[in-house]
Structure formats: C-alpha cells, structure tokens
Structure 1
C-alpha cells in the first residue's frame, strides 16, 4: 500500500444553520460533522460505521462537495478540493464519484439508462455519441446486466439491478475514488451479498479506492481493510478491520461489537447495553460526546474533549481511558470489568 495517502481529510466540519423567529434568523446550528480527520490510501477500502444520524453520509457528501464543508481540508492527490473553483471541481469529479443509498430515488425515472449512464461521459467530453453508446453497453455488461437494457427505463428494473446501474454510473468515467453511501442498506440480504461481491471484483479489476459508509458492522467487516467509527459527528476510533473486531478500544465501539449477532446459537455473548438516547447534534454535550451514555465515564470526560490519537500501532481512538497517569486507576477498574 502506498505511503502517501490518496485522500487526506483534516478537521472536516459541516454545520447546518437552525433558523427561527419572524425574520428567520439563525438561532443555532446542527453540528453534523465536527472536526473529523482521516487518511485513505490508494487501493484500500475504508469503512465508516455508526448509528443513524452520526454524520457518516454527511462526511461522504462533504468530501465530494455535494454539500459544502463549513471548515477543514480535503486533499485529494495533493490538491485541496475545498479551495477549487466550480470548473476545477467539475474536472476533479471525474476522479471522485459516489454511489447513493437509494437505488429508487437516485435514477431519473424520465430518462432511459443510456442517457443516465451516458451523461457523465458527455459532461466530461468523453468520445463521440456512438463511442458513448458503446461504453454504456460495455459498463452494463461489466456490472452484470445485458447491454441491450440501455434502452429501458429505471422502473423496469428491480432494486438490485438499479443499484448495479448506480455502480455503473459511478464507474463509467473510471474514477480513482468512490464514496459508497450505504449502497446495500436498501436491498434484501441475498442481493446485498451479490452487490458486495460485485464491488470487490470491480475494485480488483479497476484498482479502485472505496470509502464504504454503512451502519451494518457485518457488511463493513466483509469488505473493509480499515474501519472508522463515528459518534455524534466525531470519529471516535479508527484501525484495521482485524484490530477493531479483536480488540475495540472505545467503549462505544465495544457496545456496537457486542450487538453483532453471533451465528453459533450455543455461544453466549455478553451484551453492553447503552443507557439513554443519542444527544442532539444541535446541542452536543460538553467534553466527550459519548460521556452521557458511557459505562466508564469519569469526571474529566464531562468537561475535557478527548484527543483523537494513536493509542497502539495503527489504532487511533478518542478516549480518556487511555490517557496517562491521571486516569490509570479508573482505567484499570474498567478493564477488569470488561474482562
């Protein structure tokens, strides 16, 4: 794997204004993504997981500037995407694409598949009309659909077939990075496996890099090399697939892992049940955002924001349990309870 990241995300923030009153003045803001940083390397799959509303999809869209980031840097192949003009961004989008979550809403029902898939080629000035038609048929064959289906409309396809078309649309301009925004969550379990296998095959065939956003840990485990865990707009843990499943460090990750179903009915598993609801991103708690639900909460968690740092080799977390001396006794007590 290359040492220089293909994508570097530094301090990414996306706040949405809350307006109220007669004059619709801003009265607050929803901190959907709040100071998130990570790297993605060429040829890898970085999974991003977390509960609904934690900011996963907003992060993915902000990387491509489908929604404008409030602050932070998004450096793709050495260039800061957030500082690009509209024209520079249009050119850059050939290298950065997205697969949307809903295969029903993401395809224009009034257009034939030939037009839907040919449009990215037209926008980027690729080929003549005949060459574009040929490329559309080729990409349909690659994603497992007959080329002649290009003359059909989206409503003539099943959900799984529509998602294949969504994948084909992202792939047709031969991008280097694809943000996969929960691409299988709207599909039946049997179809999910087919789409995941297709995406793995395509990654190998075209040397793609994926950011794979999902709330299903078993799906992310199947496809990712590294996994980042988000909670209330922040990244709380990031490490390799193997490390995360073998030794999750953050109490939130540990509770997520304990909720993954065990295929062996005879094997008993300890559940970590979290108390309370996820706080509102418009009024997040002070200190660690997870302290209101954390089984290992300490006094400092309520006031001091934990630093997202490397706790072990290639294992990053934002948690006071791993701070020096000041918390050693409470940390030891917590780990005894876990074991």
Structure 2
C-alpha cells in the first residue's frame, strides 16, 4: 500500500468567544472537532457538507493559514504543525490553494504578470527572464494567452479569473492543491470547463487535490474518494461511486435525496431533516446529528460514534452500525436497509 501524501489525525479548530470589556473567554466555537483522514498521491479527495460545517476551515488549517487548536497534519512524511514560520513558508511551495472567489482572490491593482510572478519571487526565483517564461507557460497551460499577462483582473470574466487563480497555484510546481469551492461562484457552463481543466492538469502534472465543495454533482465528477462533514466532524468517507450508490449515514442520504434529478418520471425516496443545524458554540451531546436524524436512538444522545470501516473502503460514524459489520439494519419508514 502506498504511503499517503497527506495524513491528518485528530485535527481540531476552536475559536474563542469573548465577552465583556476585558475580552473574557466565555466559550468556544468548535469549527472543526477531531477529524482524521488521508490523501494518497495522485488522487482527489472531495470534502462536502452544508455551509458552516468546517470544510473551508479544514482546508486553511492544512496550509496553516489558520493555526490548528490540536492535532497533526503530516505532509510528505513531516508534521507541518511543528514547523517554524520560515520552514512552513518553504513547505508551501509544495502545497498551494485555489480560493473560492475569483474576484476577491486577485489583487485588482496588480497585472496578471505580477500576480503570477509573486509566488516565484517568494520562493527564490529572482531571474526576471525565468519568471516571465514560467508565467507565459502556465498562462497557456490554463487556456489563456501570453498577451493576457499585461492585463488587470477586472478585464477578465469569472471563469478566466479562476483560470488565473489555478495558474498561480501551479507556478511553484506543487504536489498538493487545496481547491476551496473553486467553481461555486461560476456559471454552470463555465464550471464544467474549469473542472475539466483541473482534471487535465492533474494528469499532466501528477497533482493531488483536496476538493472542497457543497455541490454533490461537482464532487462526484472530480473526486476519487469523498468525505462528508457535519458540524465540524467527518461522518462518512468512501470511494466516490460507492458513496453515491450506497450512502450509509442518514445525513449523507439526506444530502443525496435533495439533489434534483432531471427526469420527471423518476421517483426517489427522500429523507427529510427536521430543524436547523445546531449552534457550533453549543453542539449537542453524543452524535451531533441526533437532533435532526430520523433514525435517532437513545444511545445517539449519549455516545459520540466513532468513524469505523463497515465495508471495504467505506467508513461511517453512526450508531446504526455498532460493530462495523452489520449492514442489515431495519428502520421504521427510513431508507437504511
């Protein structure tokens, strides 16, 4: 078995809630609460979930744009949470990020040439000739022309700006790219172009992706494996096609049942969730999903379910699968069989 390029263990991020004139800490928002996963070299791991579940916070912690509260992030054999600021800056040459908003992530005062050249300057490529050659090379790689280098961000469409964002991430020849909802701000027709571009680049440059999104159709298209997050925790991880064909966690089933199917004659069994997402500053005891789960049992309110492998390559954190082997669980009026 190949060694994972990235291995995350027991990662947490708690934001303090401060009150009063003196800024007394009155509580904590548990944005990411004890998650573990791995990413193999050359694969794409999709991370999905509703807004506020901790997806983007997780992505930023992997680059240490946010400092983890607890846990380890092992990249290419070394724990980056223990690196100094200078060592982490050098490591970021191998880990880059594509941000969600193609409008906000590019400096409007800089030309594309300067935006793309900045990562090269930061990582020690001082030769202007070498930088210019790389800038033009990667503009062409993402489907733009070298004359675009002299233009400013406002002169491009959203899809073109995201291509520039992808080119900027590629400038240092990284091993891992964290894509934080890279197509959510784009039109559907442009989304497909950007996704296909990312897949072509993955093959060409042997890239590894962590693809963060809330659109399940997009994640299915690009991901090899998918992790589902709810209220700061990973509740299910599986091979992409297996997850869509056989979702085990009630939350995953609810997400998939909400995806519209373009067939008026298709009848699907839907899972309806009650209530709203709980406050992450005061999460429910036991399983955080029990307040909305149609299959809630008494144990769900008391014990936190562990993420266990119930089928080969398919893990779930749910008390409906207590021993990791029983997949024949009957429920009243539900879809879990």
Alpha-carbon distance between aligned partners in 2 of 1:335 and 1:207, rounded to the nearest angstrom: 46
Q: Residue 168 of structure 2: SS of its match in structure 1?
A: helix
Report how far residue 335 of structure 1 moved.
8.3
Alignment of 1:1-339 (within 5 A): 3-126=2-125, 128-324=127-323, 331-334=329-332, 338=336
TM-score, normalised by the number of residues in structure 1: 0.96
Aligned length: 337
Query: 4+ runs of 1 displaced by more than 2 Å?
Result: 328-339
Report how far residue 334 of structure 1 moved.
4.9
* Unmatched segments (≥5 aa) in structure 2: none
Q: Residue 200 of structure 1: SS of its match in structure 2?
A: helix
Alpha-carbon distance between aligned partners in 2 of 1:215 and 1:88, rounded to the nearest angstrom: 33
Report how far residue 162 of structure 1 moved.
0.4
Report how far residue 329 of structure 1 moved.
12
Worse-superposed segment, 96-105 or 120-129 = 120-129
Q: Residue 230 of structure 1: SS of its match in structure 2?
A: strand
Q: Residue 321 of structure 1: SS of its match in structure 2?
A: coil
Q: After superposition, what is the alpha-carbon deviation per residue over 1:37-83, rounded to whole angstroms, capped at 9, x for unaligned?
A: 00000000000000000000000000110110101000001000100
Structure 2 contact 310–327 (Cα < 8 Å) conserved: no
Alpha-carbon distance between aligned partners in 1 of 2:170 and 2:333, rounded to the nearest angstrom: 46
Report how far residue 338 of structure 1 moved.
4.1
Q: After superposition, what is the alpha-carbon deviation per residue over 1:230-254, rounded to whole angstroms, capped at 9, x for unaligned?
A: 0000000000011101111100000
Alpha-carbon distance between aligned partners in 2 of 1:244 and 1:238, rounded to the nearest angstrom: 8
Report how far residue 127 of structure 1 moved.
5.0
Q: Residue 331 of structure 2: SS of its match in structure 1?
A: helix
Report the aligned-residue RMSD. 1.7
Change (3 A) 1:36 1:334: farther
Alpha-carbon distance between aligned partners in 2 of 1:128 and 1:44, rounded to the nearest angstrom: 33
Structure 2 contact 35–233 (Cα < 8 Å) conserved: yes
Report how far residue 3 of structure 1 moved.
1.7
Change (3 A) 1:337 1:62: closer
Report how far residue 324 of structure 1 moved.
3.8
* Unmatched segments (≥5 aa) in structure 1: none
Q: After superposition, what is the alpha-carbon deviation per residue over 1:133-158, rounded to whole angstroms, capped at 9, x for unaligned?
A: 11111110110011111111111111
Report how far residue 262 of structure 1 moved.
1.1
Structure 2 contact 16–27 (Cα < 8 Å) conserved: yes
Q: Residue 72 of structure 1: SS of its match in structure 2?
A: strand
Q: After superposition, what is the alpha-carbon deviation per residue over 1:275-294, rounded to whole angstroms, capped at 9, x for unaligned?
A: 00000111100000000000
Q: Residue 169 of structure 1: SS of its match in structure 2?
A: helix
Alpha-carbon distance between aligned partners in 1 of 2:332 and 2:98, rounded to the nearest angstrom: 41
TM-score, normalised by the number of residues in structure 2: 0.97
